[in-house]
C-alpha cells in the first residue's frame, strides 16, 4: 500500500533575492486590491499562505535535489504566487485553480514579472476522486471548500495525469488536510513530493513511498 513519509525540513532564513522581493511586494498589493474589489462578494477560503516561507522551502528542494523531476503543480493556486516562485527556482510550474478571477489575477502577475508559468482554470481533483471525498465527507465543510468537482478537469487540459507531477503544493482549508494527503497518496507517482502549508504550524513535506 502506498504511504506518505515525512521529510524533515530545516528552512534557512536567507535574504530574499531582489526579483523575489519585487514579486512578493507586488503580489501583496494585487491581493489587497482583489480583496477590496471583491468586498461585496468575497471568495470564501481564499487565504494566501506564507510566501516567504514557500520561497525558502522550494529553494531547499532544489538545493538538496529532493524532487525526482522538474514538474511542480500547485493545487488551488489562488493568486499564483507559489507557482511563480517555483518557476523562479527552475521548475516547470503549473497552477490549477477553480475560481476564474484568481486565474486571471495569477496570469497577470506572472506576465508582468516575466515569469513562465501555466495556470489552468479547472479542478485539480482526479476523475476518480469521488470515493476519497466520500470517505472524508464527515470532516469536510462543503460550504467552504476548494475540493469542487464542478470545474473542467485540469489534467485533460494539460495533457497530463496526476502521476506526472513531481512536486505538488497545497494549502488545505481546515478539515481538508486528510483528504489532500489521501488524494496524493492514491494518485501521485511513487517518489513524488507533497508540500503543504498549515498556517501557524508552517510547512510539511511528505514523499510518497510504495
What totals of helices (H) and strands (E) does the chain contain, helices first? 7, 7
Is residue 159 a part of any domain in this protein?
yes
Pairing of strands 71-75, 118-121: unpaired
pLDDT of residue 52: 96
What is the reported pTM?
0.93
pLDDT of residue 146: 63
What CATH number should be reported for the domain holding residue 106? 3.40.50.150
The per-residue pLDDT for range 159-207, each reduced to its tens digit, is 999 999 999 999 998 788 999 999 999 999 999 999 999 998 999 999 9
pLDDT of residue 167: 98
pLDDT of residue 152: 87
The per-residue pLDDT for range 77-95, each reduced to its tens digit, is 999 999 999 999 999 999 9
- What distance in Å separates the CA atoms of residue 134 and residue 144, rounded to the nearest whole number? 16
Pairing of strands 71-75, 92-97: parallel
Is residue 179 a part of any domain in this protein?
yes
Is residue 75 a part of any domain in this protein?
yes
Is residue 201 a part of any domain in this protein?
yes
Is residue 137 a part of any domain in this protein?
yes
> What domain range includes position 29?
3-36+46-209
pLDDT of residue 204: 97
Q: What percent of the chain has pLDDT over 90?
A: 75
- By CB atoms closer than 10 A (0-12, 13-18, 19+), residue 41 is exposed
Is residue 41 a part of any domain in this protein?
no
Q: Which position has the grid cell 515525512?
A: 6
Q: What percent of the chain has pLDDT over 70?
A: 93
Question: Domains in the chain: how many in total?
Answer: 1
Amino acid at each position: 500500500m502506498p504511504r506518505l513519509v515525512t521529510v524533515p525540513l530545516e528552512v534557512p532564513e536567507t535574504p530574499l533575492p531582489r526579483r523575489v522581493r519585487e514579486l512578493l511586494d507586488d503580489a501583496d498589493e494585487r491581493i489587497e486590491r482583489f480583496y477590496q474589489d471583491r468586498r461585496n462578494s468575497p471568495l470564501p477560503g481564499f487565504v494566501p499562505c506564507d510566501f516567504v516561507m514557500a520561497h525558502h522551502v522550494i529553494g531547499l528542494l532544489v538545493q538538496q535535489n529532493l524532487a525526482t523531476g522538474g514538474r511542480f503543480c500547485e493545487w488551488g493556486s489562488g493568486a499564483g504566487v507559489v507557482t511563480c516562485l517555483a518557476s523562479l527556482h527552475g521548475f516547470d510550474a503549473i497552477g490549477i485553480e477553480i475560481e476564474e478571477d484568481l486565474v486571471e489575477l495569477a496570469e497577470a502577475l506572472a506576465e508582468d514579472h516575466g515569469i513562465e508559468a501555466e495556470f489552468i482554470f479547472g479542478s485539480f481533483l482526479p476523475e476518480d476522486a469521488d470515493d476519497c471525498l466520500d470517505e472524508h465527507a464527515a470532516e469536510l465543510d462543503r460550504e467552504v471548500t476548494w475540493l469542487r468537482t464542478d470545474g473542467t478537469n485540469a489534467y485533460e487540459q494539460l495533457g497530463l495525469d496526476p502521476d506526472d507531477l513531481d512536486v505538488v503544493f497545497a494549502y488545505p482549508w481546515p478539515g481538508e488536510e486528510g483528504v489532500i494527503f489521501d488524494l496524493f497518496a492514491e494518485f501521485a507517482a511513487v517518489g513524488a513530493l507533497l508540500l503543504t502549508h498549515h498556517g501557524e504550524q508552517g510547512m510539511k513535506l511528505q514523499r510518497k513511498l510504495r
